[in-house]
Structure 1
């Protein structure tokens, strides 16, 4: 049977998984919004698609500019490499056209071991998390290298490993529905191998995201469940950095900053090259009141990470705001929004920064986008999300929001 992949020059696009592959089966990295744009174009191959149709489909509840779409097209073209402008063709004053042909070769029809390796590669750099309260998402653990399908890392069960990878793919889409799908995969992995530490760590981290985004109903029960899975991961494998990372996030959510810092430092000591652990530590230090140290750590993480995710820039913008470096904070927050359009926490601080700088038009634009996302735009409503912040930092933000014109 022929592959349903689309040939984009020397690259193949699998519309089912929204993944780009080289001929050797190695997955290529692409931001989630860019994947959505490419997928939308791929559903209409060799046809001109209007910009307005793309914006309406991909940015459903957000006021997005043409610039957001242009950035996604540029991201796709960078990933495609040579001949990308012919493949993703700009049709002047109309839109874009994806010039494709069905892939006739068998390069994507690989045995399970090859499929696992390719899927692992697609997850290896996809790190994006958020610590306390905002709208980020869980970290993607490095999939590592496997010698064969029968010896995946951390478990003797190939099926359990595949469930974890599928869970990571679902979690990457970042929505409550995808989070629930990811949870089912992680639970299936644990059912297949109750001693699989990484599956427990992934589930603990996923549940932390539910708290961070107010996606929980039974707070105390969910809290105990999340802590159980993260602690179980560490009990099963004390040197598993992801287990300590999950505990660090959870303790941060549950307002135990000292425990959060301890576990994050342990995670960093176990995997020093992991910039997520480093950046998350910076976020926690900022929430503890050491914004200067946080700024240093987050800048280091951004400089070292090959493709820093949006939440690094929010953490940096937040820390810079707390130190009064408003112009630098604004730059970081704008970068955050360029990577994750419609991030409410980035928008809240961008409104505040523009209030401090005295740029009312830009503050008003951010306020309109924030309301379009369905959030209540009052100082009291925003402050209600910041109960875990130090009173001094919360008061600073409230003052800046009022300067921007946000009603009480």
Structure 2
């Protein structure tokens, strides 16, 4: 029995290893470079435009109809993106879409948020210490404080030089949060922990109950506001922009896949038009300029761009499909040979964890597994004990090459051995 245990542990290890390496080697052999476009909204054309790198490494420029432009022509189609180039060439337009928009407005009324795939898993490895700035300092310059705070069963301030807890300040801010209805520990802390900003607007905190609070330090004392949000709104991401020219504090993303702006006026919420966003599968990009907002959600199949005006009215939606890395007959063969792929999730607190992705063509892979199992039967029928033979055949049907290779490499379980 010990020998049997060693045999199947060996098979399991080989199966996991092959399910990682074989698909990777297949990609290296047959995979092609994927050229993904950069999509923007053109106020000049009132439609999307995009640029993409070709096989020679040169970038080409198109509109949604497929018409090609030179780099100079393309820059003029997106004046709020390339306003510095247009200014240098002295061709920045006096009006865009019938409205006078200066370069200063193009510079100050813009916003960008990018959430790459795997972002939330990587955030688990972040050290949860944050500087709380003075929001009403005597000078325009913002100074980095000596203390950092963290959320445990209280708001704890730690002196960065001595590594000692400032108990008086911790008690003061913890009491202020408790008085506002905050329940520790914080599930999310959103702020802008840098001195390179025009002013400080503090932090937004999600408490243990999912409620939202705004914390600001004013002359060394806490100011806490309980922000009303809808019951059941599960906020997983929030930005803090601290831009006087924007009407909102930042962008909120919920687990339900929706995006909102938290407005500076009365902390109201305005939903940003977009397609549903899945943090486990998608990348998210949000862009704003003086006239429009663009939300782009992409996965390995393509990118959906939703354009709206700055009054939150949706104007259009555009989908740009991506070419797969494995194409044609190689794609068919990949789906047939590999019923699943084992890979590692993005970095977590304690390293990387394995995950399994099933093939999109499981029936095809199971068919190949049956053929391999029949081949295994022909090769081992005369040697192997039937009870174990049929069990190993079933494993080959389910796991295909991953099980066929190690089982064929190991000696057969002969009749009378066990």
Same fold (TM over 0.5): no
Q: Give me the TM-score of the superposition, normalised by structure 1.
A: 0.27
Q: Give me the TM-score of the superposition, normalised by structure 2.
A: 0.26
Greater RCO structure (CA 8 Å; 6+ sep): 2
> Radius of gyration: which is bigger?
2
